[in-house]
Homo-oligomer: A and B are copies of this chain.
Amino acid sequence: MKYTKKMKTKFIDIEAGKFISIIHERQAKELGIFPLDRIELTNLHTKKKIITVVDTTDSMVKKEEIGLFEDVRKKLGLRKKGEILVSPVSTPESVKYIKKKMDGNSLNEKEIKKIVEDITSNHLSQIEASAFVSAVYMEGLNLQEIIFMTKALVDGGKNLKLNKEFIADKHSIGGINGRATMILVPIVAANGLYIPKTSSRSITSAAGTADSMEVLAKVNLSMKKIKKIVNKTGGVIVWGGGLDLAPGDDKIITIEHPLNLDPPGQVIASVMAKKVSVGAKYLVIDIPLGQYTKVKTKENAETMAKKFLEVAKKMGIKCEVLLTDGTKPNGPAFGAALEAKHAMEILEGKVFDNLAEKSCQLAGALFELTGKTKKGKGYEKAVELLQSGKALEKMKEIIKAQGKKVDCSEKIKLSSKKIEIKSDKNGKIERIDLKALKEIAREAGAPVHKKAGLLLKVFEDDKIRKGQVLFEIHGENQRRLEIAKKRALKDNPIKLGEIIIAKIK
């Protein structure tokens, strides 16, 4: 757009949820405006200004009109139809920086900060933001850039200021099932640490920690409330999505999602930004390794771990990274209610399986990082807190503080629509296809329906008989149960090896 122009307003009685204005295609051509360009609108009476993105139409408005959605009309304080001033907005500086990255150059702190700011505030269009994400994927971020990105993400959001010395946190990169967080948080809090754990809801799995915790208590809490609970109990397990912690990260993820991009540098900055925002000083990171997890080779995991450690150091966080076995299920449950029940059973001392083991290892690592426990004794301490019932007691305290729904494994309501999948032959379980199990749970209604999911009844290396139950599917309703069953029979996620490989006479 070359110069300022007065245009007639046309109000469009719809809230678009973002600032968009609409002009006629021919007008756009004359003014040299392209769809997704930015223009500035000025209320001629109050001089109030806002910047909107332009979309073009050949029918919604006449040539001399500019269409304003409700959000824009309100923000400009316009009541009656009339004229407004439309002015060009120059391309944001950050577009130049994006181009610089595309050309293979590294970005400095100021440049990354500006890009993150402009993405967060919607000053960059999706075309521009996508070019940045693509460039980061294709060129990578060096260590300096990851640190700048982390800082920029933190600066763009809110902070939880706890004013405590021992603030701990934990992060797991792309596992498939099992709620280690719900076991670790009470163990850690029971040892006098503070752990304000924000978690996500499921995107592609059968449940996220926030989904599972929501079976037991409220997870959609305000910053004020979170602070109060952590100060009182030492721990909290909440949904992080509504807290405005590093909001730029959410915007970047929205762009990465359709392309299924996950550049490691961006993942590290994203994780570290959330941890810095809650004030964590001690951090343990779990990278499950396996065919279906996010990080697939030990080499990649080690490279990533080193970068995590360096960024953490720079941000003043003591950090340890554990590479864990992601080839086996973390406990038998897939789905919000089933996974919550299993976590509670571990806390209640009814089970001690590989998920319990991993949770204690992670908690133990935190104990050693803080110096609360001697080197080599962290895991023992965690197991002791679990087996003594102190962790369970702490979990009940946390659940109560978060608006208790249920705090006992036996009282968790499961679906009445269940079906058992049985083995059609004798054999030994050789391999369990975690991805297929997750998909079956999703077909049954997870993660939307909390009771839907899947419960394994056998484990690797078990010898089984024909007719023995392999797993239960819990369905949202009969229809979805049938769909999930069909999928289960088709995908056959439990692979048997023959006990007798050959008979030689």
A260 and B15 CA atoms in complex are apart in Å by 31
A261 and B35 CA atoms in complex are apart in Å by 16
Q: Give every chain B residue within 8 A of A133 (Cβ-Cβ).
A: 131
Contact B258 A99 (CB under 8 A): no
A3 and B261 CA atoms in complex are apart in Å by 24
Nearest B residue to A130 via CB reads B130
Contact B91 A17 (CB under 8 A): no
A29 close to chain B: CB less than 8 A? yes
Contact B130 A131 (CB under 8 A): yes
A-B residue pairs, 3 tightest by C-beta? A130-B130, A15-B59, A134-B134
Say how far A92's CB is from chain B's closest CB, in angstroms.
10
Contact B130 A127 (CB under 8 A): yes
A137 and B126 CA atoms in complex are apart in Å by 17
Per-residue CB contact flags for chain A residues 166-200 toward chain B (1 = under 8 Å, else 0) read: 00000000000000000000000000000000000
Q: Give every chain B residue within 8 A of A406 (Cβ-Cβ).
A: none
Q: What is the copy number of this chain in the assembly?
A: 2
A50 close to chain B: CB less than 8 A? no
Which residues of A from 125 to 150 have beta carbons under 8 Å from B? 125-131, 133-135, 137-139
Nearest B residue to A56 via CB reads B17
A98 close to chain B: CB less than 8 A? yes
Contact B259 A99 (CB under 8 A): yes
The verdict on A102 contacting B138 (CB below 8 Å), with A2-B442, A58-B17 known, is yes
Contact A259 B128 (CB under 8 A): yes
A255 and B255 CA atoms in complex are apart in Å by 15
A37 and B59 CA atoms in complex are apart in Å by 25
A45 and B197 CA atoms in complex are apart in Å by 49
Q: Give every chain B residue within 8 A of A98 (Cβ-Cβ).
A: 259
A408 close to chain B: CB less than 8 A? no
A448 close to chain B: CB less than 8 A? yes
| Seed contacts A2-B442, A36-B258, A95-B260; 19 additional CB < 8 Å A-B pairs | A2-B443, A3-B483, A12-B14, A15-B57, A17-B57, A34-B254, A36-B126, A37-B258, A99-B260, A102-B137, A125-B258, A127-B130, A127-B255, A128-B130, A130-B130, A130-B131, A130-B134, A131-B131, A131-B134
Per-residue CB contact flags for chain A residues 86-121 toward chain B (1 = under 8 Å, else 0) read: 000001000100110010100000000000000000
Nearest B residue to A127 via CB reads B130
Q: Give every chain B residue within 8 A of A316 (Cβ-Cβ).
A: none
6 contacts across the A-B interface (CB closer than 8 A): A16-B60, A91-B260, A98-B259, A99-B260, A130-B130, A134-B138
Q: Give every chain B residue within 8 A of A138 (Cβ-Cβ).
A: 102, 104, 134-135, 138-139
Which residues of A from 51 to 76 have beta carbons under 8 Å from B? 56-60
A44 close to chain B: CB less than 8 A? no
Nearest B residue to A104 via CB reads B138
A248 and B15 CA atoms in complex are apart in Å by 32
Per-residue CB contact flags for chain A residues 10-28 toward chain B (1 = under 8 Å, else 0) read: 0010111100000000000
Say how far A434's CB is from chain B's closest CB, in angstroms.
18
A18 and B80 CA atoms in complex are apart in Å by 29
Contact A259 B131 (CB under 8 A): yes
Say how far A423's CB is from chain B's closest CB, in angstroms.
28
A245 and B58 CA atoms in complex are apart in Å by 21
Nearest B residue to A15 via CB reads B59
A32 close to chain B: CB less than 8 A? yes
Per-residue CB contact flags for chain A residues 36-47 toward chain B (1 = under 8 Å, else 0) read: 110000000000
Nearest B residue to A203 via CB reads B32
Nearest B residue to A442 via CB reads B2
The verdict on A60 contacting B258 (CB below 8 Å), with A29-B201, A138-B135, A448-B31 known, is no
Which residues of A from 438 to 487 have beta carbons under 8 Å from B? 442-443, 448, 480, 483
A12 and B67 CA atoms in complex are apart in Å by 15
A410 close to chain B: CB less than 8 A? no
Q: Give every chain B residue within 8 A of A104 (Cβ-Cβ).
A: 138
Say how far A332's CB is from chain B's closest CB, in angstroms.
23
A226 and B57 CA atoms in complex are apart in Å by 28
Nearest B residue to A17 via CB reads B57
A30 close to chain B: CB less than 8 A? yes
A60 and B32 CA atoms in complex are apart in Å by 31
A95 and B134 CA atoms in complex are apart in Å by 13
